[in-house]
Structure 1
Amino acid sequence: MNRESYPLVSVLIPAYNRPDTLKIAIDSILDQTYPNIEIIICDDSSDDRVSEMMDSSYSHLPQIRYFKNEQNLFIGNWHKCFDLSSGEYINYLMDDDVFHREKIATMMSYFLRFENITLATSYRQTIDANGEHIPPIYATQRLYREDRVMDGKMLGNYALSHCLNVIGEPTTVLFRKKDLIDRYGFYQGKQYVLLNDMAAWLSLLSKGRAVYITDAMSYFRLHPNQNNETLGANLFSEWLDLMIASREDGFLDRDDLYQMALRSYRDRVGGYPAYAKDIDRIDTILASL
């Protein structure tokens, strides 16, 4: 089969001030065994280091489309990447993460073999600032011992009831573009910021089946300068908003699951004064069930 016989996959990178790790990320896409990939990079950087690196290293490659934003778009940069993409399938890649070279081929094989798949994810290997493997954190523990195809709501319920993004960061998930009807990070009419990935995953999981792959198909870099370290602690409240909104979409459909989710959230934030209103809100909901 020639390259054009394979569905086009768009890998989207919302870049920001990390030319060194961005280069590693791009090289991991160029090393993919899957033959039909385009790369869209929208650069929200506050300086020219990324644009200079792109000019010197990748300006000769037609499969890479690079755009430098005139002003910082923040979450809008994610939408810009999506709108500029031409692929039937989408995989975001954070500019400090890395793909396994078989990632796209492995995940696409499930979409091509099975019907009604709306999301493919996998175990993700945590790495440090230098790219060395480190032990998993709680959210990145391997979920299963074997690959599996499952009902999307089953995976969504597991994440919601544990108040934990076990599905993965944006780098981890591959999905079909047409299945994400709302903009990335929108769920039930609200744009999520800290949990834009979970919001997108719930939207996708509500529509079909999920694939979980036990091998590490991506590498999640943990380092002191990650964006979510600067977004503000009170944005953790987005978990509670997602739990409540998800009930309207068929998640947490049993009261015991909903109670487990609410109590998991309360356990996570209990003792922090900033979340006093959330605790009151949870107590009111629990009393009504």
Structure 2
Amino acid sequence: MMHHPEDRSATRALVSIVMPAYKLRYLDEALTSVVLQSYPRLELIVCDDSANASIEQCVARHALECPFPIRYFRNPARLGELGSKLRGIGLAQGEYIKFLHDDDVLQPDCIAQLVEAIERNPGTAMASSRRVRIDDDGQPLPDILATCFPFADDVLIDGPELVSFLADHTINFIGEPSCVLARRADLLALGNELMALNGKTIHWVGDLAIYVKLLRHGNLAMLASPLTQFRVSSAQFSQGGRDQPGIGDQGHEDLRQGIRQLGWRRETGDNRLVRVAPLSPHKARVFKPVDLVNALMQSAGMAERVSMT
């Protein structure tokens, strides 16, 4: 029996894009990148944390041209980023969750590539990709150590070994929440402790708290293409003292301590070494140890030229 292309799209897994929204300035650009996604089965969940109707009106305009459902919800009270994420996960109906912050931008094939990476590699807990930092005007910014891609091509990274690595080296090369795709069931299983480890909320690097809990149970598919643009706006940078030296140090320490307390840091061997396998269909799926610190430094070129923050 022959199947038409449209029949295949109906069998693809539904992906729910969860957007915590409270800033209008870049929302139009973020929503446009959602509407232009090539993946055929999507829904967008917008949890509006703002004080007026501007975001609702912007979402309504995009809903007129969007080929998939946009489900808008005004938060009954200010929930903040974490609360909006939790609400969005609960409202979502998809098999997968794709977070998108209201000032970030997805490339048109972002979701399609991330879904394929998870579904073609059994045992994969989450997928992410290289990302590009952009400024207020959408212009690319130089890489920092965390945004340098430490591999030559798409790879599969051993999840539990990466968690152990992060107990010593909290370098978030995995990406911000807008970069990643994960299963909704796995995120729901984390309950309200989404950004907590061992009962302690992790500040500044709360996204890593999510990732380490997911990666305890599966691998990370990491794609070399820059599929997300992560905005580093001047307002965001100075808000809450983000420009103060050492402001996030406690969050990094809490994350490292939490991983150790949970017994997720390996006690033998070199913790800089993490097993990595190529994702290419033209190469054998053989895991080999990679010194991740060295790989990141090499990808950054001369390390002293690259900011550690």
Equivalent residue number for residue 257 of structure 2 = 244
Distance (whole Å) between structure 1 residues aligned to residue 238 and residue 251 of structure 2: 13
Equivalent residue number for residue 18 of structure 2 = 12
Q: 2:108 matched to 1:98?
A: no
String of CA shifts for 1:107-161, please: whole Å, max 9, x gaps.
1112221111001111101111111122112221112111111211233344442
Equivalent residue number for residue 213 of structure 2 = 203
Question: What pairs up with 1:122-137 in 2 under 5 angstroms?
Answer: 122-137=129-144
Query: Would the alpha carbon gap of residues 95 and 129 (structure 1) be closer, same or farther in structure 2, given more than 3 Å must change?
Result: same
Distance (whole Å) between structure 2 residues aligned to residue 250 and residue 209 of structure 1: 18
Q: 2:49 matched to 1:53?
A: no
Give the aligned CA root-mean-square deviation in angstroms: 2.5
Does the 8 Å contact 1:21/1:95 carry over to 2? yes
- Secondary structure, in 3 states, of the residue corresponding to 2:26? helix
- Secondary structure, in 3 states, of the residue corresponding to 2:217? coil
Does the 8 Å contact 2:204/2:252 carry over to 1? no
Greater shift, 209-218 or 151-160, is seen at 151-160
Question: What pairs up with 1:223-234 in 2 under 5 angstroms?
Answer: 223-226=233-236, 229-230=239-240
Equivalent residue number for residue 173 of structure 1 = 180
Does the 8 Å contact 1:194/1:228 carry over to 2? no
Unmatched runs of 5 consecutive residues or more in structure 1: 265-289
String of CA shifts for 1:257-276, please: whole Å, max 9, x gaps.
679xxxx9xxxxxxxxxxxx
Q: 2:28 matched to 1:23?
A: yes
Q: 2:90 matched to 1:83?
A: yes
String of CA shifts for 1:142-201, please: whole Å, max 9, x gaps.
121111112112333444422221111000111111123213323322333432211100
Query: How many residues are paired up?
Result: 260
Shift of 1:10: 0.6
- Secondary structure, in 3 states, of the residue corresponding to 1:26? helix
Distance (whole Å) between structure 2 residues aligned to residue 133 and residue 227 of structure 1: 16
- Secondary structure, in 3 states, of the residue corresponding to 2:141? coil
Does the 8 Å contact 1:159/1:167 carry over to 2? no
Unmatched runs of 5 consecutive residues or more in structure 2: 1-6, 273-292, 294-309
- Secondary structure, in 3 states, of the residue corresponding to 1:156? helix
Equivalent residue number for residue 196 of structure 2 = 186
Distance (whole Å) between structure 2 residues aligned to residue 132 and residue 123 of structure 1: 17
- Secondary structure, in 3 states, of the residue corresponding to 1:121? strand
Equivalent residue number for residue 42 of structure 1 = 47
User: TM-score, structure 2 length as denominator?
Assistant: 0.77
Does the 8 Å contact 2:165/2:271 carry over to 1? no
Query: Which segments of structure 1 move beyond 6 Å, counting only runs of 4 or more?
Result: 255-259
Query: AA paired with 1:51?
Result: E
Greater shift, 28-37 or 241-250, is seen at 241-250
Bigger proportion of residues as helix? 1
Shift of 1:221: 0.9
Question: What pairs up with 1:275-286 in 2 under 5 angstroms?
Answer: none
Question: Which of the residues 54, 61, 68 maps onto 2:74?
Answer: 68
Query: Would the alpha carbon gap of residues 102 and 57 (structure 1) be closer, same or farther in structure 2, given more than 3 Å must change?
Result: closer
Query: AA paired with 1:197?
Result: D
- Secondary structure, in 3 states, of the residue corresponding to 1:241? helix
Distance (whole Å) between structure 2 residues aligned to residue 178 and residue 187 of structure 1: 19
Q: 2:160 matched to 1:153?
A: yes
Does the 8 Å contact 2:166/2:256 carry over to 1? no
Distance (whole Å) between structure 2 residues aligned to residue 240 and residue 78 of structure 1: 24
Does the 8 Å contact 1:153/1:206 carry over to 2? yes
Q: 2:222 matched to 1:212?
A: yes
Distance (whole Å) between structure 1 residues aligned to residue 266 and residue 186 of structure 2: 22
Distance (whole Å) between structure 1 residues aligned to residue 34 and residue 62 of structure 2: 14
Distance (whole Å) between structure 2 residues aligned to residue 135 and residue 151 of structure 1: 28
Shift of 1:249: 4.2
